[in-house]
Amino acid sequence: MNNSPLTQWHEMLESQDISQLDQIIDAKCVFHSPIVFKPQEGQRLTVMYLMAAFQMFMEAEYFRYIKEIVQDQNAALEFNAEIDGILIDGIDLITWNKAGKIIEFKVMIRPLKAIDLIKERMLAQLSNMSTFDKLKLNGRVIWDKLKS
Q: Whose CA is closest to 51, among 118, 102, 122, 144?
A: 122
On the CB side of 2, CA atoms within 13 Å amount to 1
Confidence of residue 129 (pLDDT cuts 50, 70, 90): low
pLDDT in tens, 29-78: 999 999 888 999 999 999 999 998 998 998 899 999 999 999 999 999 99
